Amino acid sequence: MDAYFDNSASTKVSEKAIDIMLKTMREDYANSSAKHIKGVDAEKYVKDAAETIAKTLKVKKSEIIFTSGGTESNNMALLGTAMAKKRLGKHIIISGIEHPAVYMPATFLAEEGFELTVLPVDKTGIVDLEVLKESIREDTILVSIMYVNNEIGAVEPVDEISKIIKSKNANTLFHVDAIQAYTKFKINPKTQGIDMLSASGHKFHGPKGVGFLYIDGNVKINPIIFGGGHQRGMRSGTLNTTGIAGMGVAAKEAYDEFDDRIEKIKSLKNFIMDELEKIDGAVLNTGRGDNFAPQIISVSFEDIRAEVLLHALEDRGIYVSSGSACSSNHPGISGTLKAVGIREDLLDATIRISLSELNNMDEAKYLIDNLKELLPLLRKFVRK
C-alpha cells in the first residue's frame, strides 16, 4: 500500500483540473493576449478562473493577480508594498514563524535600509498580540502574518490582528500568507480586513507553478516583474493559461465540496492524533480545535532522527515530511519549532503528517501500525 501524507508540500492534481489543462494544451493553446479568436478563446480560461477564485473569496475578479506560485505572491506583496510606500515609512512587521517566502524578502528589505520587527509567538505558535499592538508605529507600512503555519498548523487570529493593525494605523497594509489556509477555511478578505492574500495552486489539487495574489482594489503596490504590461501592468509575462485553468477548476471543486472535505480530513486527523498519543515517546506539537488547521499534524519522537524515520516509512510506501519541503531539499533545524519552544532534543526528531481528502482510514491505520512497529526497532538500533 502507498500512503501519501505530504499534502502540505504538494497535492495530487484533480482529474477535472487535468482535463481542462489538457484541453488548453491540445485545443485552446494560443497566447491569451493575442487579438485573434484563438487568443480570445484562451483568455476565457483566465477570466473564468479569476471569476471562480474571486467568488470563493467574495472579492472582485479584477483584484486577483495570477503568479507563478506562493513564493512569487509573497515576494510581490512585500517588495511591491515596500517600493510603493517607502516615502511614507520603512517599518515592516512579520512573525517569528513565517515561511522563508516571507521571511527572506523581509530580510532582504532590512538589508536595503528598511526596519524589520519580528513578533514572538507562544508555545502553540500564536502571535503575541500585545507585542504587535506595541510594535505598530506611524511609519509601519506593512504587517505580514501567515494564516496557517506550514509546519505545526497553528491558525493565527487574522481578524483580531487586522483590527489591531487598523486601530493603530489605518494606513498600514495587512498581508496574509494563506498558502496553507486557502481551501481549508472560508476566507473573506473584505470582512476580515485583509489587504493582500497569497495562495498556491498545488496545495489544493491544482498544478504546480501557478498561484495568485489578491490585492484589494484600494491598495496600490508596485510591480516587481516588468515587461509587456500583462495583468494591468501588475505582473508582466505571458500568462500560464494551462496552469491558471487547472487552478481555477481545483478551487471550485474545493469550495463546492468544502464541508464534506474538511469533515473527512478532521476525522482522519483526530484518529491519527488519538493513536499517536498512545505511542511511547511521541510528543504532539499540534493541537485540536479552531486554533489548529485540519490537515497538519506535527509530532516528535524521542530518540529518533526525523530523517531516519522518514526513510524507514518511505521503504514501506508511506510518505511524510521531516520539515517544510518548500525551504530546500535539505532543510536545517526548523525556526518554527525553535520559536514555539520545542525541546532541544526534539528539534531534529520531528515529522509532519499532512492530509487531504484523498487519504482514507485504511491509510491512516497503515501509518500508525508501521510507526508502532518501526519506532522500537529504530530506537534499539540507535542504542546499540
pLDDT of residue 316: 97
Beta carbons of 197 and 146 less than 8 angstroms apart: no
Q: Which set of grid coordinates corresponds to residue 271?
A: 484518529
As a whole number, mean pLDDT of residues 4-31 equals 98
Kindly report the average pLDDT of the chain as a whole number: 95
pLDDT of residue 380: 79
- Residues 72-101 have pLDDT tens digits of 999 999 999 999 999 999 999 999 999 999
Q: For residues 113 and 125, give the distance between their C-alpha atoms in angstroms, rounded to a whole number.
A: 29
Residue type at 240? N
Percent of the chain with pLDDT over 90: 93
Percent of the chain with pLDDT over 70: 96
Options 21, 299, 326, 374, the catalytic residue:
326
Q: For residues 146 and 188, give the distance between their C-alpha atoms in angstroms, rounded to a whole number.
A: 15
For residue 384, pLDDT beyond 60: no
Beta carbons of 200 and 75 less than 8 angstroms apart: no
Q: For residues 205 and 203, give the distance between their C-alpha atoms in angstroms, rounded to a whole number.
A: 6
For residue 382, pLDDT beyond 70: no
As a whole number, mean pLDDT of residues 134-163 equals 98
pLDDT of residue 329: 47
- Residues 234-274 have pLDDT tens digits of 999 999 999 999 999 999 999 999 999 999 999 999 999 99
For residue 46, pLDDT beyond 80: yes
Q: For residues 367 and 361, give the distance between their C-alpha atoms in angstroms, rounded to a whole number.
A: 10
Give the chain as a 3 state SS string: CCEECECCCCCCCCHHHHHHHHHHHHCCCCCCCCCCHHHHHHHHHHHHHHHHHHHHHCCCHHHEEEECCHHHHHHHHHHHHHHHHCCCCCEEEEECCCCHHHHHHHHHHHHCCCEEEEECECCCCCECHHHHHHHCCCCEEEEEEECECCCCCEECCHHHHHHHHHHHCCCCEEEEECCCCECCECCCHHHHCCCEEEEEHHHCCCCCCCEEEEECCCCCCCCCCCCCCCHHHCCCCCCCHHHHHHHHHHHHHHHHCHHHHHHHHHHHHHHHHHHHCCCCCEEECCCCCCCECCCEEEEEECCCCHHHHHHHHHCCCEECECCCCCCCCCCCCCHHHHHCCCCHHHCCCEEEEECCCCCCHHHHHHHHHHHHHHHHHHHHHHHC
Band of residue 324 on the pLDDT scale cut at 50, 70, 90:
very low
In Å, what is the CA distance from 184 to each residue of 130, 179, 199?
28, 10, 12
Sheet containing strand 350-354, strands side by side: 282-284, 296-301, 350-354
Residues in the chain, total? 384
User: Is position 326 annotated as part of the catalytic site?
Assistant: yes
As a whole number, mean pLDDT of residues 302-326 equals 88
Strands 196-200 and 211-215 come out as antiparallel
Of 87 and 332, the structure prediction assigns the larger pLDDT to: 87
Q: Which residues pair with 64 in a beta bridge?
A: 214
Residues near 135 by Cβ (< 8 Å), separated by ≥ 6?
Answer: 93, 117, 119
Q: Considering the entire predicted model, what is its pTM? A: 0.95
| Burial grade of 365 (CB within 10 A; 0-12, 13-18, 19 or more) | middle
Band of residue 333 on the pLDDT scale cut at 50, 70, 90:
low
C-alpha angle 46-215-198 in degrees, rounded to nearest 5? 80
Beta carbons of 299 and 285 less than 8 angstroms apart: yes
Domains of the chain and CATH, by start: 3-11+258-372 (3.90.1150.10), 15-254 (3.40.640.10)
For residue 332, pLDDT beyond 90: no
For cell 525553535, the residue is 338
pLDDT of residue 383: 52
- Residues 209-238 have pLDDT tens digits of 999 999 999 999 999 999 999 999 999 999
For residue 335, pLDDT beyond 90: no
